[in-house]
Structure 1
Amino acid sequence: MAHSAGDGEGPHAGPDEDLRRLKADYDNYRRRVHRDRLAVREIAVSNVLGRLLPVLDAIDRARVAGEVVDGFGAVADLLETELGSLGLQSFGEPGDAFDPVLHLAVGYTRSTVVTEPICIEVVRTGYRVGDQLLRPAEVVVAEPPPGPV
């Protein structure tokens, strides 16, 4: 079958087809660059936020000790708000179902009041950015006693 110059096949494709291919290549390039820039941004934000976790831990310890008051309290609140606006999310609360993907068990006990493994104490808060886990929450877990064998 003979190909005409404008059907987009063969070495003699018409100028319109060449322009369409060039535009498609450029559109693909733009999408790829945009996707790569977003990925680099996410990695950079995650790296910076990960480096700030010890600061948040120090603020948490100061809160427990009752030392986060007045101006320091305002600074701590503002820091947490700004980090949240960058996508930082804390997690790990007493009563959460234990999830080995999100929680690191640093203590363990058996309890007759639970029906599944539950976090009963949070030793260190966990953090994530979007779907990326920065640090698991360190927790003490309560599990029901073993059933009859």
Structure 2
Amino acid sequence: MTDKNREEPYGDDEVRPGAEGSEASASGPAPQEPELTVDDILGAEQNVDAAAEDAATGDLETALLNDLKRLQAEYANYRRRTEEQREVEIERAKGSVAKGLLPVLDDLDRADKHGDLTEGTPFTAIAEKLRGVAERIGLTTFGQAGDAFDPQQHEAIFQQPTPGASTATVLEVVELGYRLGSVELRPAKVVVAVPAD
């Protein structure tokens, strides 16, 4: 077999590398591609994997941080709700105790009006202690003779036409009204002076 009978790997139109008269040899040597080794390829893959892992780690850290913030907010809300509920329960317990004391305090007021509470008697000492307990839990009274009649605070049990009265005023307090903090436990029962016709 001769060289001519061998097939050339390049067609007639293709430029052979290093052939004289070709474009590559006319403009100078062809730029050489950098040769890549297996280590280069593996290193590039590791860099890509590391970048993906960093991105995933960043996403994971962000997700964990958001979860932590959400849990902190939920805990703060839980604590606030628990504190509010505790305060409501304390006020409810105080109100229950105070309502139980109201009839006893009414009896003490009646005894005081009739002169049964004289200084130095054991009954007076007990009355003072009981009134002190009522004050410590925050129980206050309202409704005095001469106050302007307020249907939100007073319960009129009788209206007395009174000459010279221009507006409805409290003429006499039958039972004091009681409040526990801002909560009204009982309105004051009063006799109201109204203008005479």
When the two structures are superposed, what TM-score results if normalisation uses the length of structure 1? Answer: 0.85
Give the letter aligned to residue 51 of structure 1: G
- RMSD (CA atoms): 1.7
Displacement after TM superposition at 1:13 (Å): 5.0
Aligned to 2:135: 84
Aligned to 1:9: none
Aligned to 1:116: 167
1:23 paired to 2:72: yes
1:134 paired to 2:188: no
Give the number of the structure whose residues are more often helix, by fraction: 2
In structure 2, what is the Cα distance between the partners aligned to 1:5 and 1:129? 55
Aligned to 2:48: none
After TM superposition, the structure 1 stretch with the greater mean CA deviation from structure 2, 20-29 or 78-87, is 78-87
Aligned to 2:176: 125
Contact 2:156 2:190 in 1 (8 A): yes
Between structure 1 and structure 2, the one with the greater Rg is: 2
After TM superposition, the structure 1 stretch with the greater mean CA deviation from structure 2, 12-21 or 54-63, is 12-21
Give the number of the structure whose residues are more often strand, by fraction: 1
Displacement after TM superposition at 1:118 (Å): 0.2
**Helix, strand or coil at the partner of 1:5:** helix
Q: Deviation string for 1:34-58 (max 9, x for gaps)?
A: 0001001111111110011110011
Task: Pick one of 59, 66, 71 that aligns with 1:5.
Answer: 59
Q: Deviation string for 1:74-129 (max 9, x for gaps)?
A: 22112112211111011111001111111111111122322211001001111111
By relative contact order (CA 8 Å, sep 6+), the higher-ranking structure is: 1
| Identical aligned residues as a percent | 41
1:14 paired to 2:74: no
**Helix, strand or coil at the partner of 1:37:** helix
Aligned pairs for 1:16-95 within 5 A? 16-69=65-118, 70-95=121-146
**Helix, strand or coil at the partner of 1:96:** coil
When the two structures are superposed, what TM-score results if normalisation uses the length of structure 2? Answer: 0.65
4+ residue runs over 6 A deviation: none
After TM superposition, the structure 1 stretch with the greater mean CA deviation from structure 2, 61-70 or 30-39, is 61-70
Aligned to 2:49: none
